[in-house]
Amino acid sequence: MLRRVPVRLVLFALLTFMIPMILTACAGGVDNPQSTIDPAGAAADEIVDIYSLIWWLAVVVFVLVEGALIFAIFKFRNNKKLINGRPAPVHGNTRLEIIWTMIPAVILAVIAVPTIQGIATLAEQDDDAFQVRVIGNQFFWEFEYPDIVGADGAPLKVTDELHIPVDTRVQITLVSNDVIHSFWVPRLAGKTDAIPGRTNHMWLEAEDVGTYEGQCAEFCGTAHALMRFSVVADTQEDFDDWVATSQSTPSDPVEAGKQIVESVCATCHLVEGTSAQGNIGPELTNFANNDQIAGVLENNEENLRAWLHDPPAVKPGTAMPNLGLSETQIDALVAYLYTLDGSGAQ
């Protein structure tokens, strides 16, 4: 009875797993915006090539070894070839030991060569490429273009959406303002950590116009799961237009404040009627009518400035990190937040 059940069970289990997976795999990037095996650029291509090689070798080894195991289970379940009631006491076989050490060694060598080549390719640094500086923060990303001047004369800096020109090699420099984060856009490249006190490098390239989803991959605190971003690959023309728009910041501080809330604060806070839909921190829809800030300070402009400047200094242990806001940004936020009287979208 038991003799037949496991085979069917194993086959059934394999089919149950494999069919939907193969189907979803074939569907490709349409359904899987963060797929690592649906590359859209040279860096991700390089990785998929090595991954595919190891994957197919692994499948062969898997079938052979599991096959030998399953064969042994069925072949020797009622062994009739016994001497004195026991199977022949074989202690080992040196030739076999050598064979099953050498064959895996050869397979590993086959994997090692493209691996080393891949490491070298992915580590290349190109100073002539399009430069972007990526800055990790709890819990949002900032993207700075060292070669493009922003509205305030400093390099152009944006949050949440990294725009790049399509078919252009982008050299990325990674830093962090607080703890360790990891910059990951699976369809464009593998991840590289952003580490405080260090500068890391990576490159990527997008071969098609479009939006590529990304996410922080190193646990960085309470709202780590929400630290998402996108890379938008534009035609050179669209990219230039986007730069021109970004260089002109809104002159209205309330509008500027709203932009900051929707990009930075949105990770954790909710403001009805805006794109800020976070649920980690307190809701801010009715902020102007609140008696207190963070439950410890009287709600007035002076206290709000102190709080935004450095929350943990005001309330040690608070989940809200120091966001490193500039005075201009604080001005804008104060202006915007005191318009929030619960009446909804601004």
Binding residues for other proteins restricted to 281-310, rule: CB under 8 A: none
x-or-dash string of contact with other proteins, 132-171, rule CB under 8 A: ------x---------------------------------
Q: Smallest gap, in angstroms, from Cβ of residue 221 to other proteins? A: 6
For residue 139, whether the previous peptide bond is cis, meaning omega lies within 30 degrees of 0, is: yes
**Count of residues that bind other proteins according to CB under 8 A:** 105
* Residue 298 β-bridge partners: 292
| The only residue of 7, 11, 168, 196 in contact with other proteins, by rule CB under 8 A | 196
Q: Are strands 228-234 and 161-165 parallel, antiparallel or unpaired?
A: parallel
Stretch that binds other proteins, among 164-172, 210-218, 256-264, 337-345 (CB under 8 A): 210-218
Place of tokens 């895996």: 104
Please report how many Cα atoms fall inside a 13 Å half-sphere around the Cα of residue 192, on the Cβ side.
Answer: 23
Distance of closest approach, residue 284 Cβ to other proteins, in angstroms: 18
Q: Tokens 């400047």, residue?
A: 309
Q: Does 56 bind other proteins (CB under 8 A)?
A: no
Tell me how far, at minimum, the Cβ of 142 lies from other proteins, in Å: 17
Q: Are 276 and 262 in contact (CB under 8 A)?
A: yes
Question: Segment near other proteins (CB under 8 A), from 85-93, 242-250, 294-302, 324-332?
Answer: 85-93
How near is the Cβ of 336 to other proteins at its closest, in Å?
25
Burial (CB count within 10 angstroms: exposed 0-12, middle 13-18, buried 19+), residue 214: buried
The phi and psi torsions of 277 (rounded to 5 degrees) equal -130, 30
Q: Least distance to other proteins from the beta carbon of 285, Å?
A: 19
Selected range binding other proteins among 21-29, 164-172, 251-259, 325-333, rule: CB under 8 A: 21-29
| Closest of 173, 162, 343 to residue 243, by C-alpha | 162
Q: Are strands 181-185 and 189-194 parallel, antiparallel or unpaired?
A: antiparallel
Shortest reach from residue 145's CB to other proteins, in Å:
22
Residue 210 beta carbon to other proteins: minimum distance, rounded to whole angstroms: 15
Q: Judged by CB under 8 A, does residue 273 bind other proteins? A: no
Q: Which of 15, 58, 149, 296 binds other proteins (CB under 8 A)?
A: 58
C-alpha distances in Å from residue 314, one per residue of 104, 147, 224, 324: 59, 37, 23, 15
Measured from the CB of residue 156, what is the shortest distance to other proteins in angstroms? Answer: 25
Which of 41, 134, 321, 330 forms a contact with other proteins (CB under 8 A)? Answer: 321
Q: What is the C-alpha separation between 296 and 299, in angstroms, rounded?
A: 9
Of 117 and 168, the one with the shorter C-beta distance to other proteins is 117
Burial of residue 204, with CB atoms counted within 10 A of its CB: 0-12 exposed, 13-18 middle, 19 or more buried: buried
Nearer to other proteins, 165 or 311 (CB): 311
Rounded least distance, CB 333 to other proteins, Å: 23
Report the alpha-carbon distance of residue 3 to residue 74 in Å, rounded: 8
Cα separations (Å) of 123 from 165, 204, 282? 21, 11, 42
Give the whole-angstrom CA distance, residue 171 versus residue 174: 10
From the list 187, 189, 228, 214, the residue with the least C-alpha distance to 29 is 187
Footprint of other proteins on 90-129 (CB under 8 A): 90-93, 96-97, 100-101, 104-105, 108, 111-112, 115-116, 118-120, 122-123
Q: Is position 323 an interface residue for other proteins (rule: CB under 8 A)?
A: no
Q: Toward other proteins, which CB reaches closer, 11 or 13?
A: 13
